[in-house]
Chain A
């Protein structure tokens, strides 16, 4: 009997296999008889009188204020014409870049997508996005750091920029005899350092909230401008082929030695919380932070709040430029519609709405005047000046993602006590190896 068993099993398998073949054949025939979805309307949607769909991805999920403005623009644009219909999907910011990379792998990128300024050259080099080709008057009206370029070609444009500054209380500086810096005369490195020591002596255990508890892009955004102010940089901007000399030269070593000493002397710390709580609670005397935290501090500190320029560490103060911007994917079938939408959206009213709801710097002068916070005499106007005077975009090279993560790792190691010169040398080796393995990224 046990001998028969497998035979029966095999017989059943044969039957099943025949049945499976028949079922597959029937299914295949049925499918072949069906048409392919979308084939009857393959002219982009607009040819038969319907509106062509323009897909659009934003990083704004979980940010109702920003999302609200986008929803208004999309609704207004869709109502303004019959040729195109913009359909928006929003993603949470922390997951957005992964979604884009996956979408690109699947050949499923949307027509319109927003991206953080420094990533633009990488996505242009990778073929994710195409030259923007918006009306030149729009591009010319924007803050230079609100335009994303790669190899002299414009690939993206944004409605706003952000800026960093040093928050302080006038009463605290006055009480400790510390000069209030201005854009014309910012603190020198020596003055800034001495101010921190004085404030520590006045009872602030950690006088500067430098934001080192944060992670990711914050590190190059916040601290590479300090390095640039000191005379160093993330990469040699003449060739974009090596970081040697820029990231590990004498100026960079001197800056990072001072940066390390801030933590060693307890003038700054990587403890604390992301945001501006320590300054608002008067636990930190100075806070190196962004425009997005200004409204909360204004409410808490009131007229006593000072929005100060960052210190001049040698070659003049520098802050990072380049925030979220819009581009058109290379695979977009309705690029004209996408451009029409973008040109429609770059109006002063929408830009001012973004600026006020998001607390970011409007990218055009007209929007600045319309804004409730950033116009002449408005409380956040100093940020406009800081952005115009000191903003420097992060290196516009496809190597930036590697530069960014390498810089973060090196700066954190130095903060934690690593040898400055050897850490920077290693960072240069890592960046240069990546550039070399990618044939110079087109440079």
Chain B
């Protein structure tokens, strides 16, 4: 019995010791695994923390703290004066509203138009679609800056309908409008390419079955392809959102009226002879918030969309 007991005891202890050691090793491994991730997270968070904290400090203190850890701490002469200054210098609410309107319409109309184009290129059989897809993809290598000035010229000549004295009249020129900030960016070569690729992975037998049941192409698109392509729509929406929100050069060139300007152009208001750094930080905090909220709300879709598309934001 005793022998059993003596021999039995170590048998019961050994696994416990081993499991405790394994637990410690596991915890150590976990800590070692998390440590670089935490450091990386801090590394990427520093600019945001610096921005928010500096937005609460006067210029002199921002510059004074810049070489010390205090740059990341809300210490010293903390106030919301910079935010007051921002609202005095720039019509922030108007700029934000403009950016939201332009971005929502570019993203909303973009997913519809580009998905339809992708559908036509991937599902419909017609002559020249492969050539057209090649041409569309080829346009991706043309930087926007090289075609910006010709585009300004052309949009300034496009016809438009205006209401004058209560009557519809035609006129020429899209400058100084919301639509000049939206329409040129609805069709997007990269989005069409993504949709085309994604739609190609959906079995064509679905279409055939639907056609037997009498569905037309639009019904197939709306009732079969769209519901099966959630990830592609999310990817395109997110990848379209960021450049639309960050638009700077185009609105700068085509919009002269202050009340139509988006947020990014507003950034230049703070760079006078001597930059107002505190107000710059307050303004960037204000215009970053909507993007951060979007990111936090859709972070899973955001990460997976960027991973699946292989594109850095």
Contacts and interface: CB of A to CB of B under 8 A. Distances in A.
Contact of A63 (B60, B168, B258, B272): B272
A31 interface: yes
Contact of A1 (B124, B161, B208, B270): B208
A89 B171 contact: no
A12 interface: yes
Interface residues of B, number: 47
Contacts of B217: 9, 12
B268 A95 contact: yes
A377 interface: no
Interface in A270-323: 273-277, 290, 292-293
A102 B252 contact: yes
Interface in B155-201: 155-156, 159, 161-162, 164, 167-171, 173, 175
Interface residues of A, number: 45
Interface stretch (A104-112, A224-232, A242-250, A382-390): A104-112
Contacts of B88: 64
A133 to B, nearest CB: 26
B272 A93 contact: yes
Contact of A34 (B156, B169, B265): B169
Nearest to B265: A95
Interface in A214-234: none
A9 B127 CA distance: 13
A49 interface: no
B269 A275 contact: no
A94 B274 CA distance: 12
Interface stretch (A35-43, A74-82, A328-336): A35-43
A99 to B, nearest CB: 6
B240 to A, nearest CB: 24
Contacts of B256: 57, 89, 91, 99, 103, 108, 110
A108 B173 contact: yes
Contact of B152 (A89, A102, A110, A292): A102
Contact of B211 (A1, A35, A61, A110): A1
B153 interface: yes
A92 B271 contact: yes
Contact of A98 (B156, B252, B269, B272): B252
Interface in B202-237: 207-208, 211-212, 216-217
Given A92-B269, A106-B153, A37 B274 contact: no
Contact of A6 (B90, B125, B175): B125
Interface in A81-137: 89-95, 98-99, 101-103, 105-108, 110
A94 B169 contact: no
Nearest to B159: A31
B89 interface: yes
B120 to A, nearest CB: 10
Interface string A1-33: 110111011001000000000000000001100
Q: Kindly name the residue among B88, B156, B170, B266 whose own CB sees the greatest number of chain A CB atoms within 10 A.
A: B170
A290 B273 contact: yes
A234 B90 CA distance: 38
Nearest to B253: A102
A36 B173 CA distance: 12
B40 to A, nearest CB: 28
Contacts of A31: 159, 161, 170
Contact of A277 (B63, B212, B216): B63
Q: Kindly name the residue among B90, B167, B168, B273 whose own CB sees the greatest number of chain A CB atoms within 10 A.
A: B273
A62 interface: yes
Given A2-B208, A5-B208, A31-B170, A93 B271 contact: yes
Contacts of B257: 89
A94 B175 contact: no
A9 B273 CA distance: 63
B254 interface: yes
A253 B253 CA distance: 41
Contacts of A2: 208, 211
Contact of A64 (B89, B156, B167, B169): B89
Given A95-B252, A99-B256, A62 B270 contact: yes
A399 to B, nearest CB: 21
A321 B168 CA distance: 51
A331 to B, nearest CB: 12
B249 interface: yes
A8 B207 CA distance: 13
Interface string B136-157: 0000000000001100110110
Contacts of A5: 207-208, 211
Nearest to B209: A1
A102 B212 contact: no
Contact of B274 (A34, A89, A95, A275): A275
B275 interface: yes
Contacts of B211: 1-2, 4-5, 8
9 closest Cβ pairs, A-B complex: A62-B269, A92-B268, A102-B253, A106-B156, A37-B171, A37-B169, A275-B274, A94-B268, A95-B268
20 contacts: A5-B207, A5-B211, A8-B216, A9-B217, A30-B168, A34-B161, A36-B169, A37-B169, A62-B90, A62-B269, A63-B272, A93-B268, A93-B271, A94-B268, A95-B265, A98-B249, A106-B175, A276-B274, A277-B60, A290-B273
Given A37-B170, A61-B269, 8 more contacts: A9-B217, A34-B169, A35-B169, A37-B169, A37-B171, A62-B271, A63-B272, A95-B252
